[in-house]
Amino acid sequence: MILKEFYLNKKECIETEMSFSGFIPDVTLYNTNVLKSAIKTPTLLFKYNSVHWETFSEQTRKADVSFCIYVILPKEGTGEHMQQYESVFDFSKSIDKAILSTNEKIEGITTIYRAISTSKVMEKQYMPHNQEGWGESAEHFIWELSYKTILTESNVKNYYNVIDNQVVVDSQNHTHIQNFSGPFVSLENHEMYEIINTPLNNN
């Protein structure tokens, strides 16, 4: 599903971007179990605020998405890392670079995911209330960054053109080669994927 793919992609981008500074924070989905625990190292929580779907056809749909990232820093003088709160601005810069990347395309076997028009909405110091379930982390320094994006999800049906009994070009212009005999046209898509699984080498 596109929401899962988008989150995993951004999590990887954030970890990669922040690794350049020599530190990779914990990145996870927003959940109260994390919030009720004592936080010893900088932690990032990814939260979907709202997702509004619009379906165009059986194969294509779009979502207007609002999401945010909470940067939670340990109390100064606690934990393994003596953390100064001002470092949140460096974290924010790295997170922005990871989130506000160019238009992205993620291809699965039968589905294409795209993230377009990603933009930053606002950021602020977050002051949680006890009833929100933050628990002990309510005593920590929390910085909130909010974004919005448009996600599209398209199911792709592959059709194949037989060049000869070994080479096939599919509807996405991917070339496949496989040594076998017998007509392609008699096979279902899932059978095609089991048989055609070796990409054509250019050498």
Mean pLDDT of 101-123: 79
Residue 169 bridge partners (DSSP): 161, 175
Residue 103 — very low, low, confident or very high, per pLDDT cuts 50/70/90?
Answer: low
At 163, which amino acid appears?
I
- Position 75 pLDDT exceeds 70: yes
- Position 91 pLDDT exceeds 60: yes
List the structure tokens of 37. 């625990």
> Alpha carbon of 101 to those of 17, 29, 95, 116: distances in Å?
11, 20, 10, 9
Q: Can you state the angle between helices 2-19 and 87-99, rounded to 10 degrees?
A: 130
Mean pLDDT of 68-79: 78
Question: Helix or strand or coil: residue 108?
Answer: coil
Residue with the larger pLDDT of the pair 9 and 102:
9
Does domain 2-155 sit in CATH 3.40.50.10330? no
At 69, which amino acid appears?
I
What pLDDT digit, counting tens, does each position of 131-175 carry?
565 655 556 788 999 999 999 988 876 554 555 555 555 555 555
Q: H-helix or E-strand containing 5? A: helix 2-19
- Position 81 pLDDT exceeds 80: no
Residue with the larger pLDDT of the pair 129 and 122:
122
In angstroms, what is the C-alpha Rg of the chain? 23
Q: H-helix or E-strand containing 15? A: helix 2-19
Per-residue pLDDT, 125 = 92
Round to whole Å and give the CA distance between 89 and 86. Answer: 6
Question: Which has the closest alpha carbon to 178: 200, 203, 157, 160?
Answer: 200
Question: Helix or strand or coil: residue 35?
Answer: helix
Per-residue pLDDT, 173 = 53
Q: Determine contact, residues 156/110, Cβ cutoff 8 Å.
A: yes
Going from N- to C-terminal start, the domains of the chain cover 2-155, 160-195
